[in-house]
Amino acid sequence: MGPIFLLESLVVVIEACLIYLLMERSIVKAFGASFCANLITGLLSIIYFFLPLEFGFAYTKMGVDAFILQDSTLILLLVAGFLVNILVEAGVLKLFYRQASARRIFKVSAIMNVISYVLIVLNFVLFVG
């Protein structure tokens, strides 16, 4: 569980720096927005993790009791999670930066999530898979 918290902390710091550079030069506000956005999307990740368990088609049976997640399901979950996270984090950013335009907020949210997902996928490929 330690590496997950370390990766999440790194994501919060990187996203806070992006928010600071792309939105408003207030580091405290940027860290608050990043922390809140990642807390909410982190909780959503729990739902993404358990969602395929509800649908039998998402798994391929191997052996007697073992199931593995199909690659197409994994990709679908990543893409769906990515899009939902952009929307949710944009909503959180709008709460912190009310004067910013929706276009600017979605742009920052998309950039934040691209970088976060690259880190998460690289972590999974290099250290887990």
Residues β-bridged to residue 67: 61
95-116: average pLDDT: 95
| pLDDT of residue 86 exceeding 50 | yes
pLDDT surpassing 70 at residue 129: no
Higher pLDDT: 43 or 103? It is 103
Range of the structural domain that residue 79 is part of:
2-128
97: left (phi over 0), alpha (psi -120 to 50) or beta: beta
Dist CA 23 CA 42 (whole Å): 22
Q: How many domains does the chain have?
A: 1
Which has the higher per-residue pLDDT, 109 or 52?
109
pLDDT in tens, 33-81: 999 999 999 888 777 666 655 555 444 555 444 455 566 666 777 788 8
- Dig out the tokens for 53 from the structure: 């368990």
pTM of the model: 0.78
Could you read off the pLDDT of 14-41 as tens digits, one per residue? 999 999 999 988 999 999 999 999 999 9
Please give the Cα distance from 68 to 58 (Å, whole number). 9
pLDDT value at position 69? 54
